[in-house]
């Protein structure tokens, strides 16, 4: 059975990208790869909305988090970490692991960060060298208003570094690195980019470049300076994940052809479709509707239904793979991914399947819900 993969990453791969993934290997120090990396970098800059070089690291998104921290700070540096869920917590924990003094501004799961509350939290840390933000919190399905958050942070701390996890949002939801004055912005290939996992991509502002020179945390693999120096020669400091670059060299032109605004509109429509169908089935959305994510929707498992049985039934009976909840939300929510390569039909098929399996597990769907 061909699966309908509806988790928030890895995401489905278009046929042309799959074909590219199977291409014969080439020399990563030769002219062919140099041409690919030049095209890919230019495409990434378009979607990061930056004129800065975008660095690639063979890594998952969690590696990008570590890279952002060790290039930006020194042990003892104070940072404010705004956490809205599991991935915000992960970034804060990495900062603590590397000896930063982290003040957590913890937002209740399912909610977005309030700019004024963040401004107040920042006021209590006069020496804050940076603020750690999550654009789209994959564990809860909310999208923070990064533009508003960055504005209040920048007003109060002109020199602080603003690090933003955009792993599950970039290329799907509008984010303007340069215009919003963000400093380190990082994503992973398996999300909006329509290629398999294996490459982390990081945008670094001029302010952050200056910080990398001052930062004293030891770094080798993640060294931004080495990556930039190599990129200027059309290379990487060590062997890159060549197949992922082949994939991006196909997916980025597809994305350019669709158009940045059209992609954002498709994700808005996808998120809207899933949320509407969930409500019609009598389900409650986990996330604050005002900040509902257009790449992943978290839905409360209705009372009387076993959340793990539901994801299993979806997979085994319908061929639809959805995600469960993380940490304390395990078994309590389901999460449906709608990012990267998807069509309305994929989402409708997913929600139809959800309705059937919920009914089979005893949930009473309001009459006439399907397709309502």
Residues that bind its own copies (CB under 8 A): 2-3, 5, 7, 9-13, 18-19, 21-30, 58-63, 65-66, 93-94, 97-99, 188, 190, 196-198, 218-221, 237-244, 315, 321, 323
Least separation, in Å, of the C-beta of 343 and its own copies? 15
- 141 vs 337, beta carbon nearer its own copies: 337
Query: Between vectors from CA 22 to CA 18 and to CA 24, what angle results, nearest 5°?
Result: 150
Least separation, in Å, of the C-beta of 291 and its own copies? 24
Least separation, in Å, of the C-beta of 155 and its own copies? 32
Least separation, in Å, of the C-beta of 190 and its own copies? 6
123-158: b (≥16 Cβ within 10 Å) or e: eebeebbbbbbbbbbbbbbbbbebebbbebbbeebe
- 12 vs 271, beta carbon nearer its own copies: 12
- 273 vs 321, beta carbon nearer its own copies: 321
Least separation, in Å, of the C-beta of 57 and its own copies? 9
- 17 vs 54, beta carbon nearer its own copies: 17
- 2 vs 367, beta carbon nearer its own copies: 2
Residue 343 makes CB contacts below 8 A (sequence gap 6+) with: none
- Helix (H) / strand (E) containing 105: strand 101-106
Measure Cα distances from 319 to 52, 270, 285, 349, 372 in Å: 42, 20, 23, 10, 23
- 44 vs 69, beta carbon nearer its own copies: 69
- 24 vs 126, beta carbon nearer its own copies: 24
Tell me 100's DSSP state: -
Least separation, in Å, of the C-beta of 290 and its own copies? 29
Least separation, in Å, of the C-beta of 188 and its own copies? 7
| Dihedral (CA of 266, 267, 269, 274) sign | positive
As a whole number of Å, the CA-based R_g of the chain is 21
Query: Between vectors from CA 14 to CA 12 and to CA 16, what angle results, nearest 5°?
Result: 150
Least separation, in Å, of the C-beta of 301 and its own copies? 17
d(C-alpha 365, C-alpha 205), whole Å: 50
- 65 vs 82, beta carbon nearer its own copies: 65
d(C-alpha 248, C-alpha 254), whole Å: 9
Residue 345 makes CB contacts below 8 A (sequence gap 6+) with: none
**Closest residue by Cα to residue 129 from 194, 53, 208:** 208
């Amino acid at each position: 059975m061909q699966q309908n993969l509806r988790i928030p990453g890895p995401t489905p791969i278009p046929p042309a990208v799959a074909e590219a993934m199977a291409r014969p290997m080439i020399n990563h120090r030769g002219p062919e790869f140099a041409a690919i990396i030049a095209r890919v970098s230019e495409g990434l800059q378009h979607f990061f909305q930056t004129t800065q070089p975008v660095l690639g690291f063979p890594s998952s998104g969690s590696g990008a988090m570590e890279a952002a921290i060790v290039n930006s700070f020194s042990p003892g540096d104070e940072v404010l970490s705004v956490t809205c869920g599991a991935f915000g917590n992960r970034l804060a924990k990495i900062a603590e692991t590397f000896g930063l003094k982290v003040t957590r501004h913890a937002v209740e799961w399912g909610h977005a960060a309030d700019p004024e509350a963040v401004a107040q939290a920042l006021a209590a840390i006069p020496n804050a060298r940076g603020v750690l933000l999550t654009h789209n919190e994959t564990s809860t399905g909310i999208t923070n208003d990064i533009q508003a958050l960055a504005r209040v942070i920048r007003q109060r701390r002109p020199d602080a570094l603003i690090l933003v996890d955009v792993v599950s949002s970039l290329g799907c939801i509008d984010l303007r690195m340069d215009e919003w004055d963000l400093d380190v912005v990082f994503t992973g290939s398996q999300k909006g980019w329509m290629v398999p996992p294996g490459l982390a991509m990081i945008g670094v502002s001029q302010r952050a470049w200056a910080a990398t020179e001052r930062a004293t945390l030891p770094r080798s693999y993640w060294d931004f300076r080495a990556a930039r120096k190599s990129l200027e020669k059309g290379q990487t400091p060590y062997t890159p994940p060549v197949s992922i670059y082949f994939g991006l060299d196909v997916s980025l032109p597809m994305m350019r052809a669709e158009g940045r605004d059209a992609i954002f509109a498709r994700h808005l429509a996808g998120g809207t479709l899933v949320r509407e169908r969930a409500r019609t089935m009598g389900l409650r959305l986990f996330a604050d509707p005002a900040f509902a994510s257009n790449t992943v929707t978290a839905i409360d498992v209705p009372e009387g239904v076993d959340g793990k049985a539901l994801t299993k039934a979806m997979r085994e009976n319908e061929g639809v793979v959805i995600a469960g909840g993380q940490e304390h939300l395990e078994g309590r929510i389901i999460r449906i991914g709608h990012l990267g390569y998807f069509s309305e039909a994929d989402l409708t098929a997913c929600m139809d399947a959800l309705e059937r399996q919920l009914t089979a597990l005893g949930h009473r769907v309001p009459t006439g819900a399907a397709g309502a």
